[in-house]
Structure 1
Amino acid sequence: MAPILLADVPAQGPTTGGNTVTLIGFGLSGATSVLFGTTPATTFTVQFDGAILATVPAGTGSVPVTVTTSSGVSNSLTYTYQAPSAPVIFALVPPIGLALGGIPVLIAGNHLSAATSVLFGSKPATSFTVLGDGAILATSPPGTGTVEVTVVAPAGTSNAAAFTYL
């Protein structure tokens, strides 16, 4: 009897691949291939007859996932590649600082983990540390007036949040 797939967890991930997906089903022992569309999994390991851990290859869109054993090809499940999202800023804490710079500013938001730079107007932050997907701690450079703070990442540039120099 051909293998049967019941679930792929998670059923979505980045277009770059590299994440691990657990395939759950029956008859998975002796798997000879795991395909995401027509592309083989980067690696896969049969955990037991009901589970395989597969490393997802790079891809786009939604693709069928199948497992092949000597008994045949499984039914397919859908795996969806998700493009990275541009960063979003919700708030700056504090939203004000000294003109000479050097003020630690917490940037709260979403999709911040891939940040490559933090800009205060056109000036880069003196330094910044990504604390997680929802926060960055940046040190303000010297400046004057009110400037727009943005976060730059491979997926794009965030919305702007106002920072006022005193």
Structure 2
Amino acid sequence: MPISPNQGSTGGGTLVTITGTNLSGTTAVKFGTKPATSFTNVSPTQVTAVSPSGTGTVGLTVTTPGGTSNPISFFYVGAPFKSSLSATSGPLVGGNTITVNGVGLSTATSVSFGGVPATPTVVSDTQLSVTVPAGVTAGSVGVSVTTAGGTNNGFTYTYIDVPTVATVVPSSGPTSGGTAVTITGTRLDTTDSVTFDGVVAPFSVVNSTTLSAVTPPGTAGAVDVVVTNPAGSATATGAFTYVAGPGI
């Protein structure tokens, strides 16, 4: 007499399908000593039942006018607990893989990012690997993990969109570098790097629309300014011009 699934939440509420013979006229389904919350005699070979609350491993039995079946093991599983995410932000387009750490994760079937589900790979009872789905809009969303034991919430993940660059002021300076410039645009508060002609420049975030940077040494001429965040890069083509100093 197989049952499916053979495990469920300690809080109860799992719909279990019981397959066997001579199940007509079922009068009771028990999970250990507790009766099912409800049951339905689907056919002479099938009964469905909703598990009550419980813990550990219990024997599921079916009673008909002909007697009571032998017990089949049903396993109660506690709700999962998440302790950390390996990354709490990433690109709006998704596609990056992160790790979920916690306990009770071995039966995980779904990880939801703001209501968008993703199917995890179970590494162990304490770790999941999951590819982040695309987000709807930039910003923070709740992350939940669903297992046979229930659903756990509590973490947030931030979707980040690609930055834009509008202005670089001043737009020129000496090839020796050292020019303090202000870069304006959008989504600049998650900036990872700023480069002038591919050379990394020191920078600081003022707010989501403004960066301060100092030009590194460069070669005379117009160069590209590139601002990068976890979602991608924005290139301001020829936005800064290095000017050679006078020679005698």
TM-score scaled to structure 2, two decimals?
0.43
CA separation of 1:76 and 1:131: change in aligned 2, threshold 3 A: same
Q: Work out which of the residue numbers 52, 74, 77 in structure 2 matches 1:57.
A: 52
CA separation of 1:40 and 1:105: change in aligned 2, threshold 3 A: farther
Q: Which residue of structure 1 lines up, in the alignment, with residue 114 of structure 2?
A: 129
Residue 78 (structure 1) shift = 0.4
Q: Which residue of structure 1 lines up, in the alignment, with residue 127 of structure 2?
A: none
Q: Is the 8 A contact 2:114 2:143 kept in 1?
A: no
CA distance in 1, matches of 2:152, 2:70: 34
Q: Which residue of structure 1 lines up, in the alignment, with residue 70 of structure 2?
A: 75
1:112 matches 2:111: yes
Q: How does 1:1-166 map to 2 (within 5 A)?
A: 6-87=1-82, 89=85, 92-94=89-91, 104=92, 106=94, 112-113=111-112, 129-132=114-117, 134=119, 137=135, 139-140=138-139, 151=143, 155=152, 165-166=190-191
Count of aligned pairs between the two proteins: 130
TM-score scaled to structure 1, two decimals?
0.61
Q: Is the 8 A contact 2:42 2:48 kept in 1?
A: yes
Aligned partner of 2:190: which letter?
Y
CA distance in 2, matches of 1:20, 1:108: 32
Aligned partner of 1:165: which letter?
T
Q: Which moved more, 1:32-41 or 1:9-18?
A: 9-18
Aligned partner of 2:71: which letter?
S
Any gaps of 5 or more consecutive residues in structure 2?
A: 99-107, 120-131, 146-150, 161-188, 192-248
Aligned partner of 2:74: which letter?
Y
Q: Which has the higher contact order (CA 8 A, sep 6+)?
A: 1
CA distance in 1, matches of 2:85, 2:93: 12
Aligned partner of 1:75: which letter?
N
Residue 61 (structure 1) shift = 0.9
Residue 48 (structure 1) shift = 0.9
CA distance in 1, matches of 2:116, 2:90: 14
Q: Which residue of structure 2 lines up, in the alignment, with residue 117 of structure 1?
A: none
- Residue aligned with 1:21, SS: strand
Residue 139 (structure 1) shift = 4.2
Residue 165 (structure 1) shift = 2.5
CA distance in 2, matches of 1:90, 1:72: 53
Any gaps of 5 or more consecutive residues in structure 1?
A: 1-5, 95-103, 114-127, 142-148
Aligned partner of 2:115: which letter?
V
Aligned partner of 1:63: which letter?
V
Please list the CA deviations of residues 108-144 of structure 1 after superposition, one character each: whole Å capped at 9, or x if unmatched. 666534xxxxxxxxxxxxxx72212545748436xxx
- Residue aligned with 1:59, SS: coil
Residue 157 (structure 1) shift = 5.7
> Sequence identity, in percent?
33
